[in-house]
Homo-oligomer: A and B are copies of this chain.
Amino acid sequence: ANKKLLVLPGDGIGPEVMREVLRVIDWLDRRRKVTFDLEEGLVGGAAIDAEGAPISDATLAKARAADAVLFGSVGGPKWDGLPFEKRPELGILRLRKELGLFANLRPAIVLDALADASSLKKELVRGLDIMIVRESTGGIYFGEPRGIETMPDGRRRGVDTEVYTEDEIARVARIAFELARKRGNKLCSVDKANVMQSGRLWRAVVGEIGRSEFPEVELTHMYADNCAMQLASRPKQFDVIVASNLFGDLLSDLAAALTGSLGMLPSATLGAPDSAGRRHALYEPVHGSAPDIAGKGIANPCAQILSFAMLLRWSFGLEEEARLVERAVERVLAGGLRTADIMQPGMARVGTTVMGEAVVRELEKL
């Protein structure tokens, strides 16, 4: 059977960067006999406008039936005024929750060609290669009770609940330990165990899994505030980091920003494997919908293309093809092409399409 992909370009620059991935998919079909069945769907503001909700049940059903979802980005000023339950972000939140995509893998990598782009001093980031594993279906994002209530005296009160069961912590910890084992064998688990009860449980469970299942992985625990500090000052001390949904959200964006090349960073969000070993998975760039540059043809398609490389690796075990795509992107950069977001003196500034075409050209050569 062919590999079934659901493509959800979303809003803003989503559709234009997604178009460049299609070139890579086409190349895989022609040259490597790796063939995908593509379906397309709407998500975010685009879905709100056309279907009345940030993601329709039909699209969710397609996502469930697919082997993998390739996601663009959602949101934009047009939908900013909408009430909570109708916002574009709910498209991605529902996908994560309903497909059980609990492990969000966020690499923060500094490619040699782009080491100058970081706001950090070059020697602090050259060769940086961190993997942040963020829990993504639990914690304060979904915990009940939640809401804004009016108290007897007429005043309002906003409530959210951070909840983690030990199973939720254990399964994401296992993913992080496994990744660490394949990489530098170092895992840093992040929490606020000095203040939060869920953090205490987090620390205890990660510690137990480490001792009993991954004794060979060097495990450390760090408070979230300290981790933010350490990332900002000595990021290369980290290999794999695992954190709750909320801490992972902040820390992975922080790590991404430190690379200076947000337009280059992919992510994967994985579910649990079923008895046949199949798992739901969604792949999306770290950058958002960037409404300010949408439609101008200048967005960087690399993060979307590299998200597709992660898809090849994680959903289909196509490690070789994943590497080819990653190498092609690196070579394009080494050759001097740059989109506006990563432009440097002496390089050639190009638009979205030229960048995408260049990646395919490098693939042809590999």
Q: Which residues of A contact B (CB under 8 A)?
A: 84, 87, 89, 93, 119-121, 124, 140-141, 143, 146-148, 151, 155-167, 192, 194-202, 205, 224-226, 228-230, 232-234, 246-247, 249-251, 253-254, 256-258, 260, 262
Contacts and interface: CB of A to CB of B under 8 A. Distances in A.
B199 A158 contact: yes
A208 to B, nearest CB: 11
A254 B234 contact: no
Nearest to A168: B157
A309 B46 CA distance: 54
A253 B226 contact: yes
A119 B166 contact: no
A196 B120 contact: no
15 contacts: A89-B194, A93-B195, A119-B121, A146-B196, A148-B201, A156-B166, A158-B162, A158-B164, A158-B199, A160-B162, A160-B196, A160-B198, A160-B199, A192-B249, A233-B257
Integer count of this chain's copies in the complex: 2
Contact of A124 (B89, B119, B148, B247): B119
B201 A157 contact: yes
6 closest pairs, A vs B, by CB? A158-B201, A158-B198, A229-B257, A225-B253, A228-B254, A232-B257
Nearest to A146: B197
B225 A160 contact: no
A259 to B, nearest CB: 10
Nearest to A89: B194
Contacts of A141: 195
A81 to B, nearest CB: 12
A155 B160 contact: no
A336 to B, nearest CB: 23
Given A119-B234, A228-B228, A253-B226, A157 B163 contact: yes
B161 A162 contact: yes
Contacts of A158: 162-164, 196-202
A195 to B, nearest CB: 6
Contacts of A160: 161-162, 196-199
Nearest to A235: B119
Contact of A225 (B157, B195, B201, B250): B250
Nearest to A151: B165
Contacts of A124: 119
A151 B119 CA distance: 47
A208 B233 CA distance: 37
Contacts of A164: 157-158
Given A226-B253, A233-B260, A257-B233, A200 B84 contact: yes
A198 B258 CA distance: 29
Nearest to A288: B226
